[in-house]
Structure 1
Amino acid sequence: MPSPTTMPSNVDTYSSKYEKQRLQALANYQVLDTPEESAFDEIVEVASIICEAPISVVNFVDRDRQWFKSEKGLGVRETPLDVSICKHAILQPGLFIVPDTTQDPRFANNPLVTGKPHLRFYAGALLESHDGYPLGTLCVLDYQPRELTERQCFALQALANQVMAHLELMLAHREQAELILELKTTRHELAKRAATDPLTGLLNRRDFEQRLNQELALIQRGAPPAALILIDLDHFKKVNDTLGHQAGDNVLLRFTELCREAFRQSDVIGRWGGEEFVVMLPGSSLAEAQQAAERFHELLATTPMLEDTSPPLYITASAGVCSLTGSSTLDECLLRADELLYQAKEQGRNRTVCEEQ
């Protein structure tokens, strides 16, 4: 980054690389076209009082305009850059003072000097970024030619430093807020990854058990009973053995899509492990859960898991369905569902076995 010592020596360099970097430094503060703020208004008022000037401005020199964050005595928020005295002030460090604008060839023909408001005196203290780029000025103006005392010069620069200190504080708060948001997003993503199966994106076993415990607690406090379906893909090992593990992963992904399609949004789906899946249906009776399982069987029968094989690959699944009641415990209901699933396998697979009402 250029330092103040590399500052351009004339005002015709706004298209230079340096000027682009200066404008980027200004943009980083995100101050242009922002609402009025009391902190800046108070600094402008104090500068006006100390320097005994009717006009006081916190201004920033943009690409083709000067924009006023706060102003007293002008009544406008911006002016074109071609009538700006401040564009000259940012080309040198420290204070830029013009005792009489009519005697300075740079400003004698300026329309703000020759016409209203007939500006005759200017003093601007540089507003400089922490990395050395001039952004604008805190300036005072008068309708009469004059000078500033040494104490007034010191006070004007001190107030300009306060403007930049406040801008730096605002920038730090904004960066802190962005960092906090980033950390929250990262924490949420990490929590999501910890709760989900990396292949399918479904809840993993641990977090499904946690959600199941929550549902059992709700049922014990009076919520409607629910149902649990434990599903196992039939002969899945053959897919891995004959087509490879990548094909097996693709089957699991397609199976996951069908689960999301077949069951309700309110139903909780998890990957129990390997080719086993588990579905909790809040507020569902055994009969409703069994109907949902049968619809899933029908969907499996008409949907190929792999279409790029010859012939397309279809699979079946076996399932066990049990109820969740106020007297259920986590281990008991999982054991019942597993026993029912085993019965479905024993009875020839591609079916659902539901516990008796």
Structure 2
Amino acid sequence: MPENTIIAPTAGAPDAETCLPDSEERRLASLESYGVLDTVEEADFDDIVELISIICEAPIAVINFIDRDRQWFKSVKGLGVRETPLDISICAHAILQPDLFIVEDTREDPRFSNNPLVTQDPYLRFYAGALLTDKDGLPLGTLCVLDHKPRDLNANQRFALQTLANQVMTQLEFRRSLREQQALIEKLDAVRKDLVITAATDSLTGLLNRGSFEQLLEREAIRIQQGAPPAVLMMIDLDFFKEINDQFGHHVGDRALTGFADVCRDVFRQSDILARWGGEEFVVFMPRTTLHSALLAAERLRTALRQNDLIAVNSAPGAITFSAGLCTFSGKQSPAEAMQRADELLYQAKTEGRDRIICEE
């Protein structure tokens, strides 16, 4: 017997066996993929149950699914439960049949004559079920009608039972497609956001790159022209950085750049925008800030750098210093003119000996 075959003994008939399909694990995985188990009652399915009950003139109608160890009802009319054990399920037999499964009189069928659903309340005597199958033909459950008296279905009723069973699966397929589409949209959105972040940031330091910072300045210039408070631009250049690369290698230089970016994140405010301008140059946009406050922030950065050995090699500590130029960003000048002014002040700091900060007067 295949390893994944489930044997469910029929109540009252110890010699009878109900063998679920050999592909049981695939069947259960398919059922799970529809996300229907243990969901609330829904009008779309309740309407189908009500309609088939009327067409078949049956007091009981059910949309049910055969889970691993239970029979669960998505929609039910005429029974007061939402699930039953698998070992007394008539539908567990139905999913083994290729077509409609009809039992005209359960008392006359040895598979069900001792079933407690037949011998006790609700005293089921008639059963007709149409398979609910996935696109691969795996049986997931049935749309079925039941009665308390022996009977049969006419040709029109049989056709309606199968047709409405197909409609149940159409509903389930449509809903699964919507979920898959939504999941794909969410995945694409996540990828798009990652691409936007990647395009906007410097790959080494994780700060904004030059292009993104220039776009930010354009937007902030408009805001300031419309009445927002002025800001301060700070242009920073790490001193003697070429010597670091030449003496210790680019891997040490890269470590110094990422370490410097981390120190900046700790020193500046969350509202301040940090960017790598290029090479060992960085720029900071400080909104709603005076030159005096910006100068204090720059001095805090100098102090923090003295406490961080960003280029320590072979246990020998290595200090890093910077030069900086600060200017007001008031909206009276263009972003390009403001950046040029900050760069001029930075150049002045470097020509005066480096490791110093120059503010515009």
Q: Is TM > 0.5 for Structure 1 vs Structure 2?
A: yes
Post-superposition CA distance 1:101-134 (Å, at most 9, x none): 1111111111111110000000000000011211
Cα separation, 2, equivalents of 1:355 and 1:217: 22
Note if 1:111 corresponds to 2:113: no
Match of 1:209 among 210, 214, 223: 214
Classify the secondary structure of the residue corresponding to 1:106.
Answer: coil
Letter of the 1:252 partner, please give it. L
Q: Give, in angstroms, the shift of residue 308 of structure 1.
A: 4.7
State which of 138, 150, 159 in structure 2 corresponds to 1:133.
Answer: 138
Q: Which amino acid counterpart does residue 354 of structure 1 have in structure 2?
A: C
Indicate conservation of the 8 Å contact 2:327/2:360, yes or no.
Answer: yes
1:298 aligns with 2:303: yes
Mean Cα deviation higher: 274-283 or 237-246: 237-246
Counterpart Cα distance in 2 of 1:286 and 1:179: 49
Give 2:153's aligned residue. 148
Tell me, yes or no, if the aligned pair for 1:297 and 1:351 is still in contact at 8 Å: no
- Taking the TM superposition and a 5 Å limit, the aligned residue runs for 1:1-357 are 13=19, 18-356=23-361
SS at match of 2:177: helix
Partners of 2:278 and 2:17 lie apart in 1 by 70
After TM superposition, where is structure 1 displaced by more than 4 Å over at least 4 residues in a row?
6-14
Secondary structure at 1:126 match in 2: strand
The answer as to whether partners of 2:6 and 2:24 remain within 8 angstroms in 1 is no
Give the deviation of 1:13 after TM superposition. Answer: 4.5
Distance 2:280 2:311 in 1: 16
1:69 match: secondary structure: strand
TM-aligned CA deviation for residue 160 of structure 1? 0.2
Q: What TM-score, normalized to structure 2?
A: 0.94
Letter matched to residue 344 of structure 2: E
CA separation in 2, counterparts of 1:242 and 1:91? Answer: 77
Identify the range of structure 1 (271-280 vs 327-336) with the bigger mean alpha-carbon deviation: 327-336
Measured in 1, the distance between the counterparts of 2:317 and 2:22 equals 61
Does the Cα contact within 8 Å between 2:6 and 2:19 map onto a contact in 1? no
Please state whether the residue corresponding to 1:222 is helix, strand or coil: coil
Q: Distance in 2 between matches of 1:265 and 1:13?
A: 65
Question: Which deviations, in whole Å up to 9, do the C-alpha atoms of 1:16-75 show, x marking residues without a partner?
Answer: 861111100100101001111111011101110111100000000001111111011112
Structure 1 SS opposite 2:71: strand
Structure 2 CA distance for aligned equivalents of residues 121 and 155 of structure 1? 17
Q: Residue deviations 1:236-263, cap 9 Å, x none? A: 1111111111111111111110010110
- For residue 329 of structure 1, report the CA deviation from its aligned partner: 1.1
Give the superposition deviation at 1:92. 1.5
Shift of 1:8: 10
CA distance in 2: counterparts of 1:339 and 1:224, whole angstroms: 24
Distance in 2 of aligned mates of 1:109 and 1:342: 97
SS of the residue aligned with 1:144?
A: coil
SS of the residue 2:114 aligns to = coil
Find the aligned partners of 2:229 and 2:314 in 1 and give their Cα distance: 45
Partners of 2:289 and 2:260 lie apart in 1 by: 22
Letter in 1 for 2:169: M
User: Which amino acid letter does the alignment assign opposite residue 241 of structure 2?
Assistant: F
Corresponding residue SS for 1:336: helix
Two-structure CA RMSD over aligned residues (Å): 1.7
Q: CA deviation at 1:82?
A: 1.1
SS in 1 for 2:23: helix
SS of 2:41's partner is coil
d(CA) in 2 for partners of 1:291 and 1:149?
91
Structure 1 residue ranges without an equivalent (≥5): 1-5
Residues 230 and 328, structure 2, Cα contact 8 Å, conserved in 1: yes
Amino acid in structure 2 at the alignment position of 1:121? F
* Distance apart, 1:307 and its partner CA: 3.9
Q: Are 1:7 and 1:92, in contact at CA under 8 Å, matched by a contact in 2?
A: no
In 1, the alpha carbon distance for the partners of 2:127 and 2:261 equals 73
Shift of 1:309: 3.0
Indicate conservation of the 8 Å contact 2:129/2:145, yes or no: yes
* Per-residue Cα deviation, 1:262-296 (whole angstroms, up to 9, x for no partner): 10111000010011000000000000001100100
Q: 1:28 to 1:346 in 2, by over 3 A?
A: same
Query: Following TM superposition, by how much is the alpha carbon of 1:310 offset from its aligned partner in structure 2, in angstroms?
Result: 3.1
Q: Which runs of 5+ in 2 are unaligned?
A: 9-15
Q: Deviations over 1:138-170 (max 9, x none)?
A: 000000010111111111000000000110000
Contact between 1:11 and 1:87, CA under 8 Å: does it hold in 2? no
**Alignment partner of 1:113: what SS?**
helix
TM-score, with normalisation over the residues of structure 1?
A: 0.95
Whole-angstrom distance in 2 between the partners of 1:11 and 1:283: 80
SS of 1:164's equivalent in the other structure is helix
Change (3 A) 1:127 1:7: farther
